[in-house]
């Protein structure tokens, strides 16, 4: 090993040890602090260097010797009457020895990321404990159900194509489900942090992340229960509908990133028109208090399965529509599937664009048509569940949005 390389690795090990040691020194731990941690990390690096000539037993011996010293230190503390010495510093000592050893034969950025991550985790102890205390049984259930969906179900599904039109891949289908559930879960977690007493803008954004349709249903019902709440409800529904286009752009960026140069400008124009409407309403409604309705857990297994089945139907329908009816069949499928849910048609369209079975120019038009169909469904929901005053406001707002969408479909030039 070159001399310059040796000193570089020792310097990195020293820096990472100092970083973690500084944090431990501030926490007033008596086992290891600002001087001990850099020595431990450098010790790991030296052991790994020696192992290149004398074998891996040097690292094992160094690790065992360090563990024995940690044990002796804790034993002495217990004899002094400290009955709960804890394990955080002890585990950090062993990990930083491993980081120092990894520097020699591993990737330096990985070692730096691990060392920095250790320092951050140690520093954020109060915040992490507060977060754990805020997580209720329902929230913990949501996390575990997301683990079930992602880490248990997804890996065992076969990653091959079945059925007609070669579009049904169980692993890919469920991966799409995980993607959508993750977006909704992010909104749900944010909702828990902001609590129910959130501002109107935040309520609309979180509602759009979790489900813009469910948000429309909730606020339409609330318009009967809360007097003169129609203006505020209309604003929250409009913001949630605006976030729908953000979700669509995220889906396209994740699945078919090469299509963004074609799909982002028209969908961004639609998003911009909605943002302008939202800003105009916000100046009028920003001072009104708002309390978000209780949000349901987005990681329930049954809704995830239902969405997966819906996505499979939409994939088959779009493939069949294109095969038998050409581009006209795709527009019919988009209008029908988007009536209650835009995510499914967005995912299927993005996948078809990625597989070169659909051009991006047609793809964004299908998604935009589906979103307009979804606006009609939300308008009908308000008509059935909301007050007449809310319906009047939503009708005007959605008419403007609908006009912008139709104009984009008709006049936006094909690339």
Average pLDDT of span 367-384: 93
Beta strands per DSSP E along 118-164: none
d(CA 143, CA 189): 10
- Does pLDDT of 83 surpass 70? no
Tell me the mean pLDDT in the region 253-266.
93
Dihedrals phi, psi of 162, to nearest 5 degrees: -130, 165
pLDDT in tens, 166-204: 778 899 889 888 888 888 887 777 776 665 555 667 777
The answer to whether residue 231 scores a pLDDT higher than 70 is yes
Is the CB of residue 122 less than 8 Å from the CB of residue 93?
Answer: no
pLDDT at 228: 74
Provide the pLDDT for residue 374: 92
More confident: 285 or 411: 411
- pTM for the full predicted model: 0.71
Give the chain's largest Cα–Cα span.
83
Question: What is the mean pLDDT of the segment spanning 81-96?
Answer: 74
Per-residue pLDDT, 313? 87
Between residues 323 and 51, the one the model is more confident about: 51
Flag whether pLDDT at 85 surpasses 60: no
| Structural contact between residues 223 and 390, judged by C-beta atoms closer than 8 angstroms | yes
The residue among 251 and 166 whose pLDDT is bigger is 251
- 286 has pLDDT over 60: no
> pLDDT exceeding 70 applies to what percent of the chain?
89
Looking at per-residue pLDDT, the higher value among 74 and 409 belongs to 409
Instruction: Give whole-number Cα distances, 98 to 16, 38, 43, in Å.
Output: 12, 12, 10
């Amino acid at each position: 090993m070159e001399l310059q390389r040796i000193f570089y690795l020792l310097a990195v090990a020293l820096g990472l040890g100092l970083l973690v040691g500084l944090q431990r020194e501030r926490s007033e731990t008596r086992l290891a602090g600002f001087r001990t941690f850099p020595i431990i990390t450098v010790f790991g690096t030296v052991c790994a260097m020696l192992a290149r000539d004398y074998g891996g037993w040097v690292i094992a011996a160094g690790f065992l010797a360090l563990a024995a010293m940690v044990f002796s230190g804790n034993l002495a503390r217990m004899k002094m009457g400290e009955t709960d010495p804890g394990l955080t510093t002890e585990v950090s000592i062993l990990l930083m020895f491993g980081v120092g050893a990894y520097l020699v034969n591993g990737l330096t950025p990985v070692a730096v990321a691990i060392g920095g991550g250790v320092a951050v985790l140690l520093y954020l102890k109060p915040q992490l404990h507060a977060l754990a205390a805020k997580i209720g049984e329902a929230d913990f259930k949501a996390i575990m159900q997301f683990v079930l969906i992602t880490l248990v179900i997804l890996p065992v599904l076969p990653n091959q194509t079945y059925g007609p039109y070669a579009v049904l891949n169980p692993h890919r289908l469920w991966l799409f489900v995980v993607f959508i559930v993750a977006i909704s879960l992010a909104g749900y977690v944010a909702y828990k942090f902001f609590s129910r007493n959130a501002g109107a803008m935040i309520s609309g954004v979180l509602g759009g992340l979790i489900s813009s349709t469910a948000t429309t249903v909730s606020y339409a019902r609330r318009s009967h229960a809360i007097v003169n709440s129609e203006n505020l409800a209309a604003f929250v529904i409009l913001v949630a509908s605006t976030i729908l286009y953000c979700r669509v752009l995220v889906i396209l960026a994740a699945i078919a990133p090469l299509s963004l140069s074609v799909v982002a400008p028209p969908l961004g124009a639609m998003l911009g028109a909605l943002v302008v409407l939202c800003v105009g309403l916000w100046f009028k409604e920003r001072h009104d208090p708002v309390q978000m309705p209780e949000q349901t857990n987005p990681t329930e297994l049954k809704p995830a399965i239902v969405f997966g089945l819906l996505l499979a139907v939409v994939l088959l329908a779009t493939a069949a529509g294109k095969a038998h009816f050409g581009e006209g069949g795709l527009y019919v499928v988009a209008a029908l599937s988007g009536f209650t849910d835009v995510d499914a048609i967005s995912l299927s369209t993005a996948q078809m664009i990625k597989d070169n079975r659909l051009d991006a120019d047609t793809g964004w038009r299908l998604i935009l048509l589906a979103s307009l169909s979804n606006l009609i469904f939300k308008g009908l929901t308000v008509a059935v569940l909301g007050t007449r005053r809310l319906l009047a406001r939503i009708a005007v707002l959605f008419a403007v949005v609908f006009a912008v969408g139709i104009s984009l479909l008709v006049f936006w030039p094909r690339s």
